[in-house]
Structure 1
Amino acid sequence: MSVVITADIIASRELTDRARAQRLIDDAVARVDHDLPGADRVLTPTVGDELQGVYPGLADALAAVTLLRLRLPDEVDLRFGIGVGEIGVIPSAAGDIAEGPGWWAAREAIDTLHAKQVRALPRARTWVVAAEGAGDAASIALANAYAWARDELISAMTERTRRLAYGRCLGATQASLAEQEGITQSAVSQALNSAGAAAVVEGFRVLRMPR
């Protein structure tokens, strides 16, 4: 059983500099892959505004999305569909083609998320779907409940606060973050506390606990 991510750029057609946006995404993905190694296939651009990646488990995928959401600058945002299910490849003269129920589930997750963003959850950026016979329905429901709450917090953060939360997820002290940002430690503490960042940081640590 695999866990895959299909991500797309939100409002990609409205970007004034699509090439710059892609560079920002590539830089963020590379940084997250460096700081959180272990992906079977790190998020990679495919066609148009989409990226695809493969992760060892659901917690790994959710942890990677957490860091990537925190790392992305204000200029660009991504929507993440996480699929749980079997995957494979179809040989082609142009190269192997990713295929299988896990990928179909990730696409369904993207479509479902887009509808939820329009109707009731404009700050949601993540949705999880398990292919038929894959995953436990209760675990998928809990993952989606967590993702909703996490996304609500992250979407309301400033770019600086997201950077601070990213550092805290990786164990950086408030003092070291203050030095990096050129601000006081009390300013770091205030920014994190007012944004509810502690919940995001602790949630990330839970996802990274050994199983």
Structure 2
Amino acid sequence: MSHLKGRTVATLIGDVVGSRDSDDRRGLHRRLLAALADETARSVALEPPAVTVGDEFQGCYPTVGAAIAAGWRLRTTLLPEVDVRVGIGWGPVTRLDDTVQDGPGWWAAREAIDWVAEAQTKAGTRAVRTAYRSEEPGGPDPAAVDAALRCRDHLLGSLDERSQRILGGLMAGRTQAEIADSEDISASAVSQRVRGDGLALLLQVADQLAEVGARR
């Protein structure tokens, strides 16, 4: 859209982790499309995230926090069966034609997701799935935001599959009782995981990161 021409925005590039090794590429792609459609319905995107090629998707947001929140919702929706990595950038975006965009904002997001792909190969950062880079002075501090993202991702990566599903249910607005029924466990067992596995902390962190770059 022409309203993005020269505007400084938060850009998001994501892709599915290990999609080439999937035994059901079509099914994986359908799940990704469903998650993107759900995210489009409830996000504040300037341009909702959409598949560009293969299992890569891109979107534009008014703030870095909004882009972080979108990536987080997509991850918690798709886990534990499917995981995605996300690169977030901040900088000017230019539209070259009706379909192609370019500019520092996209270069920053590409640098971020490339860093994540490399970080996943190293033991100390194996659980990291999100990074943020900036090409515009005065935007949210990349060092501070990136530090928070790494800690958040590490905590998420330490959860077992049940706790990841519970977190996804909480992010989707389901009650602990509803989640307990779907997991065939007691409500107290869900509550114990929310407290003991740091799910409540992850929800608080998600809320705070969603405010990054928002005007006060």
TM-score under structure 2 length normalisation: 0.85
Gaps of 5+ in 2: 1-7
How far off is 1:128 after superposition?
0.4
Say which of 38, 44, 52 aligns to 1:38: 44
Task: Please tell me whether the aligned partners of residues 29 and 68 of structure 1 are also in contact (alpha carbons under 8 angstroms).
Answer: yes
Q: Secondary structure at the match of 1:86?
A: strand
Q: Which residue of structure 1 aligns with residue 176 of structure 2?
A: 174
| 2:148 is the counterpart of 1:153 | no
Q: Which residue of structure 2 aligns with residue 143 of structure 1?
A: 145
Question: 1:192, 1:172 → 2: CA distance?
Answer: 13
How far off is 1:189 after superposition?
1.1
State the identity as a percent: 36
Moved more, 163-172 or 110-119: 163-172
Q: Which residue of structure 2 aligns with residue 107 of structure 1?
A: 110
Report the AA paired with residue 124 of structure 1.
V
Task: Please tell me whether the aligned partners of residues 123 and 151 of structure 1 are also in contact (alpha carbons under 8 angstroms).
Answer: yes
How far off is 1:78 after superposition?
1.0
How far off is 1:110 after superposition?
1.2
Question: 1:116, 1:176 → 2: CA distance?
Answer: 36
Q: Which residue of structure 2 aligns with residue 125 of structure 1?
A: 129
Task: Please tell me whether the aligned partners of residues 92 and 136 of structure 2 are also in contact (alpha carbons under 8 angstroms).
Answer: no
Question: 1:199, 1:58 → 2: CA distance?
Answer: 21
Q: Secondary structure at the match of 1:128?
A: strand
Say which of 162, 165, 190 aligns to 1:163: 165
Say which of 10, 13, 17 aligns to 2:24: 17
Task: Please tell me whether the aligned partners of residues 6 and 52 of structure 1 are also in contact (alpha carbons under 8 angstroms).
Answer: yes
Q: Secondary structure at the match of 2:132?
A: strand
| 2:91 is the counterpart of 1:89 | no
How far off is 1:75 after superposition?
2.9
Gaps of 5+ in 1: none
The alignment covers a number of residue pairs equal to 205
RMSD, aligned CA: 2.1
The ranges of structure 1 where at least 4 consecutive aligned residues each deviate by more than 6 angstroms after the TM superposition are none
Question: 1:66, 1:102 → 2: CA distance?
Answer: 20
Task: Please tell me whether the aligned partners of residues 109 and 133 of structure 2 are also in contact (alpha carbons under 8 angstroms).
Answer: yes
Task: Please tell me whether the aligned partners of residues 43 and 70 of structure 2 are also in contact (alpha carbons under 8 angstroms).
Answer: no
Question: 2:170, 2:27 → 1: CA distance?
Answer: 27
